[in-house]
Amino acid sequence: MNHSDKRSEENSKRLEAAIAGLQAALSHLERTVADKLEDELSSAELEEELAIMQDDRSRLALDLDAALARQNTLEKGRDEVLRRLENASEGVVAALAATVITPAREN
């Protein structure tokens, strides 16, 4: 082998090593980019999920407020019914007491 062939072979080996290094670097870059894209997609999905949860929370808060207002209205109605029942009961008791205390007149 002459000196020119040796240099050519060395250059070829260096070129192959450089190509192998470049391919390894490109593979690493591709993995890094894929990981970054996956992270960004995950972040976007998380942000979307958070927005959905915040909307649900707002809707549930409104539903809770409406339910509490309805409960308050029902309690007021119940109290009014109880008051009227007490008045009616007192009237019935008074009427019965009057009937028992003052018997019907005999003719």
Residue 27 has pLDDT above 80, yes or no: yes
Residues 6+ apart with CB under 8 A from 9: 1
The pLDDT value given to residue 40: 83
Instruction: Tell me the C-alpha distance between 40 and 29, whole Å.
Output: 16
Report CA-CA distances (Å) from 10 to 19, 20, 47.
Answer: 14, 15, 55
pTM of the predicted model, to two decimals? 0.50
Six-digit token pair at 79? 């109290």
Instruction: Tell me the C-alpha distance between 84 and 77, whole Å.
Output: 11
Mean per-residue pLDDT, 68-97: 95
